[in-house]
Chains A and B, each alone.
Chain A
Amino acid sequence: DAEITQSPRHKITETGRQVTLACHQTWNHNNMFWYRQDLGHGLRLIHYSYGVQDTNKGEVSDGYSVSRSNTEDLPLTLESAASSQTSVYFCASRPAAYTGELFFGEGSRLTVL
């Protein structure tokens, strides 16, 4: 079965370190998204991509970057982790921009000490 997987599922790191969260989907979806979820804020869009070599900033993109070198993967990088980036991160994909159904990964819980 096609799926979307995130790794690692849990990570603890220190302030200032670089961290990369992986997202891999096997549906061949063009659209991929990264959200973070914090209490009181719901899901906030970090970055998104509509296809290979396309990346766009979301509403909370500062301190994060993404790259899209193939259809399947959209890794999220925190260049220098900060305590404010402690959160649960969800990757999601969908086949096209006009569809509303996002397929989410199980989430990655990141703690920055």
Chain B
Amino acid sequence: RKEVEQDPGPFNVPEGATVAFNCTYSNSASQSFFWYRQDCRKEPKLLMSVYSSGNEDGRFTAQLNRASQYISLLIRDSKLSDSATYLCVVNRRGGKLIFGQGTELSVKP
């Protein structure tokens, strides 16, 4: 079993839709959590950190459930420019960052 697991998708949604991605992690000692975005053939970039109380950044909302070892990302009012692969990332104790395989999102007009 992979340490960080995501549904690879692809998720195909129309513009304006709300879409949610899920991620589970197996190492209960994991300390911090993040969502990265990767455009096709480009380098990944930090989208947002995930805090225990949940956090929002514009149309993006991230949630963390430590008891269930589960992270989510909600995107509201999807834009064409949101099309990308979204990577769930876990920072282990000691500082190693472990990436999920990514969830591909395609937003259609």
Contacts and interface: CB of A to CB of B under 8 A. Distances in A.
Interface stretch (A61-69, A79-87, A97-105): A97-105
A100 B42 contact: no
Interface residues of B, number: 23
Contact of B100 (A42, A98, A104, A107): A42
Interface stretch (A18-26, A43-51, A70-78): A43-51
A90 interface: yes
Contact of A102 (B8, B33, B97): B97
B89 A48 contact: no
Contacts of A102: 44, 46, 97
User: Interface size class for chain A?
Assistant: 20 to 34
A107 B43 contact: yes
B96 A50 contact: no
Interface of A: 31, 33, 35, 40-45, 48, 50, 58, 90, 97-98, 100-102, 104-107
